[in-house]
Amino acid sequence: MRTKRLGDVTIRAVDGGALPTHLVAQIDAIFFEASRRSAFASANERAAFRERWLGRYLAGGSDVVLVAHDLEGAVAGYLVGALDDPAEQERFADIGYFRGAFRELCRRYPAHLHINLAPAFRSRGIGARLIAAFSARAVAVGTLGFHVVTAKDARNVRFYTRCGLSALGTTSWSGREVVFLGRALPGGESSLSRR
Ligand SMILES: CC(C)(COP(=O)(O)OP(=O)(O)OC[C@H]1O[C@@H](n2cnc3c(N)ncnc32)[C@H](O)[C@@H]1OP(=O)(O)O)[C@@H](O)C(=O)NCCC(=O)NCCS
């Protein structure tokens, strides 16, 4: 018999373009709570913020969308990510560090992700499971490595380090110090040296 654990969740890979609106609404709520940004000058600015860090990954296509559901089916958290180098994609041109300070690192660790959990589901190992699922998807398509960019002083840096990512570079962006954390994937080093 399956043992019920506190915070028991199921992780599903979904087509972001086919997500029902009630699940999108729950993902949005988690995103805005986790981003801790509630003040926006206008509805347009709020929409642009959501688009930059979440919306564009839910448009379907090759992006990865992983949703963690609790036993009742409610969204406990999510991971969204892209598998190809963001410095080479026009849709990420609004995030200056991809083509700027982190351009070379993006080439070596091309896939990237954003992850957020609802407060009640944090610190139970669910985030690590989402990262492992994303890593498996990236390995399956032969990506050299993956990365995240976060605030240099954020508590989540410890989480990423425990997930096997290493701090590889820092820069100042949008008024704060950010850090690039990357993890090479099996075969990554050798495939890079063959290029
Ligand atoms: C970061 C996050 C995805 C990690 O998932 P998780 O399942 O909680 O992680 P684990 O249980 O495997 O590991 C616990 C670690 O998560 C991180 N974490 C937990 N709560 C956190 C919070 N409120 N804010 C930031 N990081 C947090 C910490 O690094 C923690 O380790 P610590 O207790 O030594 O500080 C999740 O905690 C979260 O969504 N946090 C808030 C939003 C966030 O920081 N998202 C990432 C943006 S780059």
Residue 44, classed as helix, strand or coil, is: helix
Helix (H) or strand (E) holding 19: none
Distance 176 CA to ligand 1 centre (A): 20
At residue 194, does pLDDT exceed 50?
no
Ligand 1 centroid distance, CA of 64 (Å): 20
- Ligand 1 site-directed mutation target among 5, 32, 112, 122, most atoms within 8 Å of CB: 122
**Residue corresponding to tokens 């896939």:** 111
Distance CA 58, CA 3 (A): 33
Global pTM reads 0.94
- Which domains are delineated in the chain? 9-193 (3.40.630.30)
Q: Which residues does a 6 A CB cutoff place in the pocket of ligand 1?
A: 34, 115-117, 122-128, 148, 150, 155-156, 158-159
Which atom of ligand 1 lies closest to the CA of 122? 8
pLDDT over 90 at 7, yes or no: no
Residue 37: the pLDDT is 80
* CA–CA separation, 69 and 77 (whole Å): 7
Q: Which residue has the higher pLDDT, 190 or 118?
A: 118
**pLDDT value of residue 193:** 46
Ligand 1 atom at shortest distance from the alpha carbon of 150: 48
What does the pLDDT look like over 37-50, one tens digit per residue?
Answer: 878 999 999 999 99
Q: Is the pLDDT of residue 24 over 90?
A: yes
Residue nearest to atom 13 of ligand 1 (CA): 123
Q: 96 C-alpha vs ligand 1 centroid, how far in Å?
A: 25
Closest CA to 7 of 52, 63, 60, 74: 74
CB-based burial of residue 160 (10 Å sphere; 0-12 exposed, 13-18 middle, 19+ buried)? buried
Top mutation candidate among 57, 80, 159, 173 for ligand 1, by most atoms within 8 Å of CB = 159
**pLDDT by residue (tens digit) across 79-132?**
999 999 999 999 999 999 999 999 999 999 999 999 999 999 999 999 999 999
- Other Cβ atoms within 10 Å of 50 Cβ, number: 17
